[in-house]
Amino acid sequence: MSKDMNDYRQGDTIYILLKKSQAESVMDEWLEGNWQCDLMVHRSQKNKGCVVLETTDLMFAARIIQWHTYERVTYKRPSNEKR
């Protein structure tokens, strides 16, 4: 996983680490706003009490980062694509 968001490319999976309460708020916004984007949610294995949101939608990720308190943001390029 890269730590430099300047290296981000369209289609990369964005991982946003949030506290549980912030993840609930994001999920409510996603449902109420009827956002047409992919969103996978799971508990963080490394950070107790945190949730990881995964999406490839840059606009939705930017909205989360702008309007919600987050712990960390990283991304991963698909394994079939080279840097």
Between 16 and 83, the higher pLDDT residue? 16
Cα gap 39→32, rounded to integer Å: 14
Q: Which tens digits make up the pLDDT trace of 3-58?
A: 556 677 888 999 999 999 999 999 998 889 888 888 999 999 999 999 999 999 98
Is 68's pLDDT higher than 50?
A: yes
CA 50, 1, 41, 32: dihedral to nearest 10 degrees? Answer: 100
Phi, psi (degrees; rounded to nearest 5) at 61: -60, -45
Cα gap 6→14, rounded to integer Å: 13
pLDDT score of 35: 84
* Region 62-73 average pLDDT: 92
DSSP label at 2?
B
Question: Within 13 Å and on the Cβ side, how many CA atoms surround 5?
Answer: 10
pLDDT score of 2: 44
